Structure 1
């Protein structure tokens, strides 16, 4: 009788393990050892994050891992809202900021696959405002003072330039060119002292007009510079599809992949699930200012405006890992996925920061179409495989997809400060060390 009771308890425990993972998303679950990962080593992920919670450095986090098509790890630590001591939950809704960019990039590639536009198309084909752009060039006079002059763009900005951030369009929060920052401020795309990366303030047409009036930071197609390119790509998707970006994504991506909580704002009945950052950054001592995702934006920001859960995003990452398909829902062809995860920069410059330096403070990465891509085994000071691709968000979210190791990892936390690259390196190393065969 005692033996039977123990067997029943073990079955119930195993059933709970499987069901608790399955609740996260529609990916079949398995024990880590079944797919070449170590349960003992994976414990270091939660332990390390919990230590950061205990120190007061981060409020909380959710981590989910897909290895070889199986969900093998799904854990929470800390608080969804430390101010109210509300514990973190797997269905917490996060501001994903720039992890919106891969979603908008996939939307654009769907339209490319359908022949409705091409990567080589000039964006002026869809937005005539960009037909005659100028570039603001910096030079130094004999005294070393920086002067700016305008020169015509040598070539048109293409759809491909928007996807790989070689358009010459920067971020007002990042650019060092005062003339460009002034133009973006006058267009309402930037408010000094306001919430950063909130391009949702303006209407789609006002965004197009405002960016088009501003000079470019570099000649189109010559330099990788992180900026509002994918926000503008979202406008292209809207013009070509005839639908608002959020509606297009809902119909073509979110619904097929059962990304039930991914959107460009959080409805009233879900607002209790929003994961909140600490009021003050523990490292910089500056207040944390994040997007107000409880209000509907004036435009769906393809560069930074979406929200979602860890499970939702793992569905997206798993679709990409699986060559563009998940659970019978074909989103992209394998050839398109491979193209997006290829080096699109070649010998182009990466001023002021290369993709790897910007995201994780490491070398060894280039950029594809919507994703940062690892070039080789060496150079980078983190584990990974050649061909892996990834991106992250300004409020603390991060994901990577490693086709060689058949691995997709999504980490969501509420850590908007400059410590983010440290945590991205940390979690990447911890997960990589748990891959044992």
Structure 2
């Protein structure tokens, strides 16, 4: 029998460290999964809800995965590229006429009518790399006219799109100028939600149906979707936001009265999915195996390699150090590590975090998959302590 690739003693250290976060009431509970070379180690710590309600945390608990959604929908988009139903560098105007003939602000803080024409049309590559010229504006809330306009239209980047039909959402988006020229700057999030609309129009299929066909069914991701069916609601964790003043956890979504209990009006390709640790393991295993899962090929090897290659310029990354920290960049729908400056910062490692308290990365060099699912919202793009501790513990457990 071959030696283990993960140290049992050091995995126990992980449990001790993470149990400390729950004991200090940083969060009610969590699920972790570390997989390497056929070994899978899972920890369930704490409870499904604060105060122990809902019972102890369970391996098949369903979490709102927020922006971890982005790498999944990007993979689905690449299946359409492989079929030549979408092309990375073709204009999206035909399928998204609302985004044709864009106007661009002369400066990000300028009035909405002080614009110039876009230098070129938007493309699928712009959406996947978050260089479409619109997204999260890194300024104080409401400081710029474009921020106020996005808020008023219900278009501000967030975990969930409001109760707006996709066509109406696109119309409102098309009524506003871009902040930057297409391809010029990296702006977080909005490109993924536009991507979801593009895929539904390209195929004539609802987004969840398309994801089921392309990914969820072939990967056996039976608990992943944009809502939780009634017979699974007992497995949905509660979700909490920390109080800005006290840090105390405030209930954001009660599983007994959850917003995820019915299909959304707008399925957000940028942050709307719920999932489990084992479903996410299946997706990450496919990506680690360069597109293959079991005996089936889901994506081509070149597609996975393209997705997980940094696409940004040094200037674009330097302008977004709060997201990239000087050691990573962005591929097609995924964060990509580019520089070894921390224990878990292995060049080529890819994945992303979710604002509801989730972190999912795949490391081809170490053949390692790590999944952390919590119920506590993030308060900034900077990873919270529980994220940092999980990844430190996952990598210190490597035993060769």
Query: How does the TM-score come out when normalised to structure 2?
Result: 0.91
Are 2:18 and 2:386, in contact at CA under 8 Å, matched by a contact in 1?
no
SS at match of 2:132: coil
Paired residue for 1:5? none
CA distance, structure 1, for counterparts of residue 120 and residue 142 of structure 2: 23
Residue from 29, 32, 41 that aligns with 1:73: 41
Select between 242-251 and 180-189 the one with higher mean Cα deviation: 180-189
Compute the displacement of 1:400 (Å): 0.8
Which position in structure 2 is the counterpart of 1:13? none
Q: In the alignment, what sits opposite 1:324?
A: 291
Look up the match of 1:158.
123
Distance 2:45 2:118 in 1: 50
Contact 2:349 2:363 in 1 (8 A): yes
Match of 1:401 in 2: 362
Q: Give the Cα–Cα distance (whole angstroms) in 2 for the partners of residues 278 and 199 of structure 1.
A: 18
CA distance in 2, matches of 1:399, 1:200: 25
Greater mean deviation of Cα atoms: 177-186 or 161-170: 177-186
Residue 233, structure 1, aligned to residue 195, structure 2: yes
1:115 pairs with 2:46: no
The yes-or-no answer on 1:336 pairing with 2:298 is no
**What is the rounded CA distance, in whole Å, between the counterparts of 1:332 and 1:34 in structure 2?**
31
How is 1:37-436 mapped onto 2 (pairs within 5 angstroms)?
37-68=6-37, 70-83=38-51, 84=53, 86-138=55-107, 147-148=110-111, 149-171=114-136, 178-190=144-156, 196-278=158-240, 280-281=242-243, 284-285=247-248, 287=250, 289-290=252-253, 292-350=259-317, 353-354=320-321, 357-358=322-323, 362-377=325-340, 380-418=341-379, 420-436=383-399
1:101-156 deviation line (CA, Å, top 9, x unaligned): 111101110000011111001121311111111222337xxxxxx64432222222
What is the CA distance between 1:182 and its match in structure 2?
A: 2.9
SS in 1 for 2:398: coil
Shift, 1:295, TM fit: 2.4
**Structure 1 residue 86: deviation in Å?**
1.9
Tell me how large the CA RMSD over aligned residues is.
2.3
Q: Report the secondary structure of 2:373's partner residue.
A: strand
Unmatched tracts of structure 1, length 5 or more? 1-30, 140-145
CA distance in 1, matches of 2:386, 2:241: 19
TM-score, normalisation: structure 1:
0.83
Aligned pair count reads: 389
Q: Secondary structure at the match of 2:252?
A: coil
- Would the aligned equivalents of 2:208 and 2:267 in 1 still touch at CA under 8 Å? yes
SS in 2 for 1:270: helix
- Please give the per-residue CA displacement for 1:264-310, whole angstroms capped at 9, x wherever unaligned: 00111111111113465486347453572112210211001110111
What is the CA distance between 1:383 and its match in structure 2? 2.6
Taking the aligned partners of 2:137 and 2:62, their CA distance within structure 1 comes to 27
2: distance between equivalents of 1:424 and 1:279? 16
